[in-house]
């Protein structure tokens, strides 16, 4: 025996859906589809935050999942100081995208004025 077992075949019912009349399906508006696709994310209750980091030059993506908010905040701080990346932070209530342009704007807002000015 080679160790691989053939997976059991589970028939699907695609032909029933193909043959069904259009009246069987509820039409959706464009706004409903956008709402479902863009605003309908759900994190499990034991996950505080997900962070997706993307290297701008290579396009490589890394994902980080955190159960504690404090750990996620520390990761965001380190990502803010890292160059050549953009990242997305997803919590149960919001999704935030941060690019290098956003980071430089953030730094400009908190520059300490010189005493000579």
3-state secondary structure of 52: strand
- Residue 87, classified by CB atoms within 10 Å of its CB into exposed (0-12), middle (13-18) or buried (19+), is buried
Pair 41, 90: CB distance under 8 Å: yes
Pair 100, 90: CB distance under 8 Å: no
**Each residue's pLDDT expressed in tens, for the chain with a length of 117 residues:** 567 788 888 778 888 889 999 999 999 999 988 888 877 788 899 999 999 999 999 999 999 999 999 999 999 999 998 989 999 999 988 889 998 887 655 555 544 455 554
pLDDT of residue 117: 47
Cβ neighbors of 83 (< 8 A, separation 6 or more) are 100
Cβ neighbors of 91 (< 8 A, separation 6 or more) are 43, 48, 49
pLDDT of residue 106: 55
pLDDT of residue 8: 81
């Amino acid at each position: 025996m080679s160790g691989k077992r053939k997976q059991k075949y589970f028939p699907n019912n695609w032909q029933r859906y193909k043959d069904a009349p259009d009246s069987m399906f509820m039409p959706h508006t464009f706004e409903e589809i956008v709402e479902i696709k863009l605003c309908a994310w759900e994190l499990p209750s034991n996950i505080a935050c997900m962070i997706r980091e993307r290297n701008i030059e290579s396009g490589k993506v890394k994902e980080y999942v955190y159960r504690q908010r404090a750990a996620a905040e520390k990761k965001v701080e380190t990502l803010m100081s890292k160059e050549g990346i953009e990242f997305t932070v997803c919590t149960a209530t919001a999704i935030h995208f941060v690019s290098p342009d956003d980071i430089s704007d953030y730094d400009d807002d908190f520059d300490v004025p010189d005493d000579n000015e």
